[in-house]
Structure 1
Amino acid sequence: MGVPYPIESLVGQINGRPVYAEEFLFPLEDRILRIVAESPLPDAIRSVDALVVQRFREFVDSELIIAEAESKLDSQQQQGVLAWLKSVQEDTIADRGGTRDTASASIEEEFGVSFDEFMVQRRSIALASDLLRKRVQPRAIVSWRDIEQAYRRNYATFNPPPTLRIGRIRFSTKREVEKVEQAKALIAGGADFAAVCAAMEIPDDGAWLDLELPSDGIAGTTLTKAVKSRLEGLETGELSEPWVQTAFISWFAVTGIEKQPGRSIYDPSVQFGLEGELSNMRMVQEQDRYLSTLKDRWVSGDIDEMRRRLLTIARLRYFLK
């Protein structure tokens, strides 16, 4: 026999509306059951907890905004909302079969709610959107100075450094003696890096490393001192002095420097992109700040305690069978 759990457990009130665990968890049930069936127990518990916490926050935020929006309506505005809602009802019926019965059946099949519940949702969404537009959006304005600062912070993204391409020819001084002598002869005859690679059929034409070229040149790269000292001052394709190690001999060359086009702050796409990112970030910050001012006014009880109750009930219901 399974462990009993409270089906209609009251977890708190928001905007005078009781919040019941069953009502809250029901829309999430299919997803929760899938998580429980497909994941190991510890992972499933973490995933379900995260889902409940995320949806609870969204639910609380939505209720707070709707409560505040409704409280701001005077009688004239209420009449305007009713007139707008009547127009929405008429359009919805016209778009979904022409009668209220056909529209109701279509809405219930698509959204799982009644016609009246659907209209209430549309009203709530419209009121919430209007409130956020009036109270939050003006605080999320982005100035030219903000865009300049964001551009400077992301300068390297818009103006990436050149790419330094380095080639290497390397042979074993013990196993490839003939190749070492052949390479030395070609180099003595004036062959450059590409010519030696072609004559000796070096794989990938000797391609070795691609590095970002910093403002101070090769000296600022992460190459070893031995390689840096041999590359500095060389023209593209010019072979370095050999680097003789215990078992190998190597020659290096700069095979190319690829410069990527930068993007100016005066590029409209850069400005619009930065403005959009900053505006979205500010909207989130200002909305969170605004919502925090509404919690004391519209929430009866401790939100953290409500969240804990929901998590406890979800665990009892879906994990203790």
Structure 2
Amino acid sequence: MTPQQARFVIIGAGIHGLSTAWHLARRLKATGQGSGQDVLVIDKQGIAAGASGVACGVIRNNYFQPAMRELMAHSVDVWESDPEAFSYHPVGYLQIAPESMRADVGQIYTEQQAIGYTSELIDGPEASKTYLTNLFSDWQAPGISVVLHEKRGGYANNVASMRGLAAKAAAEGVTIQGGVTVTGLTLDGGAVTAVETDAGTIACKQLVVAAGPWVRDFWSMLDLPSHISVTTPDGVTRPDVPMWTYWALQEGTLDVDPHTFTDNAGNLPPVVHVDSDEPLYDDIDGGLITDKMWGIYYKPDFNFGGVQGGASPVPIDRP
């Protein structure tokens, strides 16, 4: 039976909802302000039923925004705290890039070093080629000018890691309730006081919406605008910008033995991420796929029994 009230209600049993529940429960107990019994997670289906259950699972500190650097380092610390429970594989991460990205990749490396995040920069075409062929004797990608090898990070098996995270939250006393669909929100003075669901109304003091791509629906429930004005750093204001834009990831798993994807020493390799501005040709018919910037990543996927990877996302245009 779904509780009729909870101090904290979290909508969504994916990576953000479950992580919030676990850390909140621990903080409440540590500060003497409560426990996991004050926290309720609800989901319209169940654990990892949405985007978190199909996510690529890559864990890295390779983002261009400087503000994310320490946040990602903290996140990696958490993954490393219990690799078995989180189904985490700390194999590292390779960012492999062309001349046009050389300065940006170097800047990421500089920021990583500033916070003590373990990585290695291989700068220059010849040095990059030597480094990569020392890892993979059959390396072929041309036009590479820089390699950033993050010695930390790697990947986690998506559904297994979410179940591990849910178990940690439940061990702290958190209730996780699947099969509960939110139908509305009750407000008083601009604050949410209850969550309306198909299983009844749940009164709450605090609400966390961790619904991933479905956040748009809750935004609408709060009567918030579908379009906004955005002012860029140079002072230009763009009016009537859609609040939400959706992109489709191009990802899949090749049906090959993941054990065949190893480095020269026979070890499981880092996650490989290549960005390139070299023309990309079909290896079957030789046709040109693109002559613009493209990117791809790949890694072993023992969950699906293959090699999993993806390319640049494409925008979704629909009413």
TM-score normalised by L of structure 2: 0.19
Please state which structure has a larger fraction of its residues in strand. Answer: 2
RCO higher in 1 or 2 (8 Å CA, sep ≥ 6)? 1
TM-score normalised by L of structure 1: 0.19
Larger Rg: 1
